[in-house]
């Protein structure tokens, strides 16, 4: 069994501004696990533990999906709380595009590959405990309108996630290219 997800790796030039946002979380009255810079990605579908003989099928279906779309730009902006402000488990950034290509790709992944498909987002931290919720919400509100910029999506990755004591280690198993 292989623990996998489908996502989009983040370009290096966006990692520093993302790290700056994550650094601001360290001063808040909460404990959280920050996503390491090397693991930053746009989440499309968490597949969980899949049998190794199913990986080739996932690769083929991801290739078919990506072949339907041309490369496109997405915007990373807007801090969001998942699942809600009243119950914060994850801090993430919104990822969107004007043509809604990312949403369409997510729908097709849900149809052809399945997995736990959520609206596209970039996870920054997993929240463990909040000691002063009001203070955290006030500070997060100041970060809600953050704009990090755009980047071109030219491929989508099937990524293996190995859980280790030091944290997850990601390995790209397959990269499906979008059309020019």
Q: Is 87 a catalytic residue?
A: no
Which residue matches tokens 């849900």? 110
- Cα end-to-end distance, the chain, whole Å: 34
The whole-number pLDDT of residue 100 equals 93
CATH code for 2-177? 3.90.1140.10
The whole-number pLDDT of residue 103 equals 92
Phi, psi of 64 (to 5 degrees): -60, -45
Q: Are 7 and 156 in contact (CB under 8 A)?
A: yes
Task: Please state the pTM of the whole predicted model.
Answer: 0.88
Q: Are 171 and 12 in contact (CB under 8 A)?
A: no
Among residues 5, 22, 41, 95, the one annotated as catalytic is: 41
Taking only the tens of pLDDT, the chain with its 180 residues reads: 999 999 999 999 999 999 999 999 999 999 999 999 999 999 999 999 999 999 999 999 999 999 999 999 999 988 999 999 889 999 999 999 999 999 999 999 999 998 898 888 999 999 999 999 999 999 898 888 888 889 999 999 999 999 888 888 999 999 999 999
Q: How many CB atoms lie within 10 A of CB 139?
A: 16
DSSP string, 68-98: T-B-EEEEEEEEEEEE-SSSEEEEEEEEE-T
Q: Is 41 a catalytic residue?
A: yes
**What are the structural domain ranges in the chain?**
2-177
Which residue matches tokens 């069994």? 1
| DSSP 3-state of 122 | strand
Among residues 4, 90, 105, 121, the one annotated as catalytic is: 121
């Amino acid at each position: 069994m292989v623990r996998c997800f489908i996502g989009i790796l983040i370009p290096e030039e966006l990692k520093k501004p993302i790290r700056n946002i994550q650094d601001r979380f360290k001063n808040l009255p909460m404990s959280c696990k920050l996503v390491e810079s090397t693991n930053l990605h746009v989440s499309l579908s968490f597949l969980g533990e899949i049998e190794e003989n199913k990986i080739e099928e996932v690769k083929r279906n991801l290739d078919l999906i990506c072949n339907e779309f041309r490369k496109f730009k997405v915007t990373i902006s807007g801090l969001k709380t998942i699942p809600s402000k009243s119950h914060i488990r994850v801090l993430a950034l919104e990822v969107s595009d004007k043509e809604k290509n990312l949403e369409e790709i997510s729908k097709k992944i849900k149809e052809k590959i399945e997995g736990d498909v959520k609206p596209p987002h970039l996870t920054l931290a997993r929240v463990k405990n909040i000691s002063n919720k009001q203070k955290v919400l006030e500070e997060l509100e100041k970060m809600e309108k953050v704009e990090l910029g755009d980047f071109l999506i030219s491929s989508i990755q099937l990524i293996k996630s190995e859980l280790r004591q030091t944290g997850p280690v990601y390995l790209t198993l397959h990269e499906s290219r979008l059309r020019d």
